[in-house]
Structure formats: C-alpha cells, structure tokens
Amino acid sequence: MELLSLIRAKRRGAELPAAEIHRLVTGIVEHSVADYQLSALLMAICYEGLSYNETLELTRAFIDSGVTLDWSHLPGPIVDKHSTGGVGDKVSLMLMPWLAAAGLTVPKMSGRSLGHTGGTIDKLESIPGFDVNLSGRQMEDVIKQVGCCIVAQGANLVPADKIVYTLRDATDTVDEMGLIAASVMSKKLAAGADCIVLDVKCGSGAFFTSLARARKFADIALRLGRDLGKPIGCVISNMEQPLGRTVGNAMEVLEARAALAGESPQPDLSALCATLGGVLLVTCNRGASYQEGQARMERARESGAALERFDAWIAAQGGDYARLEAARTKAEKELRLATVPALKDGVISDMDTRRIGEVARRLGAGRLTTADRIDPWAGILCRAKIGDSVVQGEPLAVLVRGPAAPPVPGELVREYQQAVAVSSYAVELPGIVLDVMPANRGLSIIGG
C-alpha cells in the first residue's frame, strides 16, 4: 500500500494491515517516508484511534527498528520501571537503588525532560561528575558493583519511536492511547528486563487526567506485556499535585536522598516507591502478594540499606554527592528566590499541576525544545499542598533560579498563584496510589 492509501484507509476508520505497519516503520527509519505524509497519518490516527491489533503490531515494529538488549548473563531478576511522566517525579532516583537493596538487578535507561514533565537524566546531571553516558561494559561494571545503573537511552534503541515522537510533539498528535502505548512499551520491552512495573500517572499534571483513561492505558500495556512475553505490573498513581515538595533537578535529587534517609516530611514519595517495588517483587515471583513485597521494601529502607545503595550507586557512576551538597550551601546564599504569597486564608483544594510544571520549565528546570539549556538549581519548593491551611501573605511556594540566571519574573509568581485554588472548606487528601494492577492479570485490586 502507498502511504497515501494508508492515510485514506485510516481516515475511513479502517484497520491497517500488520505488514503495512511494519513496512511503514522500516520506511521511517530509512528516512524514505515524508514528514508531511507521516504527520497526516498521525492526525488520522488521533481522530480514528489505533485498534489493539494495530497497537501490538506497531509495538513489534518499533522494537524491530533497533537493537534489543540482553542482560540474561547478569544475576537476576532483571527489572525495570517506567513512569508516564509527572511533575516532581523523582521516583526513579529513589526506587532503583532501593530495588537493588531488595535484591533485584536494575539496568535502567531514562530520558530527559520535555514539556511540563521532568526527566531523570537531567536530574542526575545536576550531580557534579555523574556520567549518564556509560558504555554497555561500564554499565555492567556498575551493576556488578551496586546492582543498579541509570543511563541516557541510546539512539539505537527503538530509533523509529524517536523520529515519530518528535513529529507527534511538533504536530500535537501525542495524545492517542495506542501511539502512547506503542511508544512506551517498545522502549521498555527492547531494554531487556525480565519484569517491568509501570507507574501510570493520573491527574492534572499527567498525560492521563482521568482514572478511566489511566486504567485503559494500563490495560493495553498489560495486554502488550502478555502478548509479547513480558510480565508487567501497573500502579496508577496520583498526579493531582507535585510529587513530594520539590520540582526541579538538583532540588529533586536532594529531596530523593532525604526521603530515603527518612528525613522527608512527605510520605507520598516513599509510599509510592514501596508500592512500585512491591508490585515488581510479586511480578518477578519474589513474593506471594504485592503487600508482602511492599513490606520487604519498607524493611530495606528502614534498615538503611536503600540509602547506602543510593550513595554507592551515585559514586559508582562518578557522581560527587558531597559537592552537590556543598554547592547547595554556597548557592543558597546566591540563588534567585521569589516567594509566592497566598492571596487569601483557607485550605488548598486544588493544584493545576501541569501549570505548575510549566512554571518550573519557564524558570529553567525543563525545556520546550531539545536545544534548550537546563538550569540545575531552577525549580519550585512547594511549601503547601492540597489539604494544607494557608494564611494570606504567607508563602505557598518559593520559586528558585540559579545564581547566573535573571531574576524570577513577577509573572511566574502570579502564574503559580493562579494554579493553586484556596477554598474555605476542608478537602479530602488524595491518596498517592489510586490502583494496583499486578502482573498481566489486568485486575484492579484497589479500584472497581
């Protein structure tokens, strides 16, 4: 079929044949498909949707477009985690060494921030000396030493997704469930883990703003895992407010370590990590239930083993954590700060988390295009979150920029104020874990 016929077929709502999907993806990586025609096809897909079979074939074709990794010579189980993206999402920084402390092996590839969501690689690069570009051999050395490793995803892993994702981003065609599932799952499946847990974010700061859409995505991901031979578990987690207290690269690293050390006043972060770990442990048959796995995770943190592993891992990848701490002390005197005062007395009832993520990006914590530079100290310290009482004039948050950046514009202070609703009534605190769907059963065990 010519690409024009594929576009026509999709516009009429027809299902694309498997062979055509594979041919299309081959054409994409060979650069023989014109961007304007691929854009038209993506738009037709956004209107008509991809069926499950089309999503499965697209996932297969994406995986086949590049290399697939094999870690079977390392001591197992080899595990991986993926987040659909959020604001203040520092889970990978905590969870990977924590899983290693619980006896799992974690060779993880992560991405950079784009749009309103942060990226683990940018966070790690705020640690002086931390190397995110290790070779396969270097990764193995780090894993043998400490049990985990996080590197930037290489260009040869699912190259088709890289091309398609860039076009989706530029043509506002990101938002189709099958396209998202094929993009996320192909990368995870190609990365060679035995078992995977997905942190499906749901709420105002996430791709999926409703529980129904988050569950639908989780169901597709679980089916893809089953049909492509990988055990997968899903946790649907709350992204109605930033995760933890900080948004921004260096600040999130500092908060992640503090949370592992039990110093964080925010229980949501540790609770989410323990649940994700519990689901992974049961997914790879290291426990009878995810609750049992969760308890094992808690023990690994309370004993100090997870924190020890965090420190060993950062050092094994060349990071100098003490220099980050020292830079914080020095920078604290020179940082550009702007306090965001509450406009009235009351209780925080809602946070528009996407808007808050945009404020962080505009401060310099993220990027709009891949060419934008990150300010490691830029970000937000959320002084109050949903359910907290606030007093007019007292700080809702502090907006931060590095010493070399221009002062924080008043416009961003106002933007943050508008993103936070203060009400006169008490609100119910949202739980961090909304649903748990363990290994390929597709069964919600918290939700209905």
**Which residues have a catalytic role annotated?**
82, 161, 168, 183, 187
Nearer to ligand URA among residue 180 and residue 316 (C-beta): 180
Tell the burial category of 335 from Cβ atoms under 10 Å away from its Cβ (0-12, 13-18, 19+).
middle
Stretch that binds ligand URA, among 147-155, 177-185, 299-307, 339-347 (CB under 6 A): 177-185
* Nearest Cα to Cα of residue 393 among 340, 336, 337, 338: 340
- Does residue 104 interact with ligand URA by CB under 6 A? no
> What whole-number distance in Å separates Cα of residue 144 and Cα of residue 356?
39
Query: Residue count at the site for ligand URA (CB under 6 A)?
Result: 8
Binding flags for ligand URA, 255-294, as an x/- string (CB under 6 A): ----------------------------------------
In angstroms, how far is the first alpha carbon of the chain from the final one? 43
Options 179-187, 269-277, 342-350, 399-407: segment touching ligand URA (CB under 6 A) = 179-187
What whole-number distance in Å separates Cα of residue 435 and Cα of residue 448? 9
| Beta strand ranges found along 71-223 (DSSP E) | 79-83, 106-110, 148-152, 195-202
* Subset of 156-175 contacting ligand URA (CB under 6 A): 165, 174
Smaller CB distance to ligand URA: residue 179 or 273? Answer: 179
The C-alpha R_g of the chain, in whole angstroms, comes to: 22
**Binding status of residue 189 toward ligand URA by CB under 6 A:** no
Residue 56 and residue 22 in contact, taking contact as beta carbons nearer than 8 Å:
no
SS3 call for 191: coil
H or E element that contains 434: strand 433-437
220 interacts with ligand URA by CB under 6 A = no
CA distance 268 to 328: 24
Query: Rule CB under 6 A: is residue 120 a binding residue for ligand URA?
Result: no
Among residues 59, 84, 105, 246, which is the contact residue for ligand URA, using CB under 6 A?
A: 84
Q: Shortest Cβ distance from residue 262 to ligand URA (Å)?
A: 31
Q: Closest CB to ligand URA among 212 and 446?
A: 212
Smallest separation (angstroms) from ligand URA to the CB of 214: 13
The least CB distance from residue 104 to ligand URA, in Å, is 23
For the chain, what is the total number of helices (H) and then of strands (E)?
A: 17, 13
- x/- mask, ligand URA, residues 41-80, rule CB under 6 A, reads ----------------------------------------
Helix-, strand-, coil-residue percentages of the chain, each rounded to 5: 45, 15, 35
The residue from 41, 58, 124, 180 that contacts ligand URA (CB under 6 A) is: 180
Q: 3-class DSSP state for residue 270? A: helix
- From the CB of 167, what's the least distance to ligand URA, in Å? 12
Shortest Cβ 446–ligand URA spacing (Å)? 24
Sign of CA dihedral 217, 274, 139, 193: negative
Angle between helices 136-146 and 305-316 (to 10 degrees): 150
Nearer to ligand URA, 113 or 246 (CB): 113
Alpha helices in 107-156 (DSSP H): 120-124, 136-146
List 77, 85, 86, 147, residue binding ligand URA (CB under 6 A): 85
- Which residue's CB atom is positioned nearest to ligand URA? 183
Q: Which of 443, 444, 383, 380 is nearest to 408 (CA)?
A: 380
Given 146, 184, 197, 211, the residue binding ligand URA (CB under 6 A) = 184
Task: Return residues touching ligand URA (CB under 6 A).
Answer: 84-85, 165, 174, 179-180, 183-184
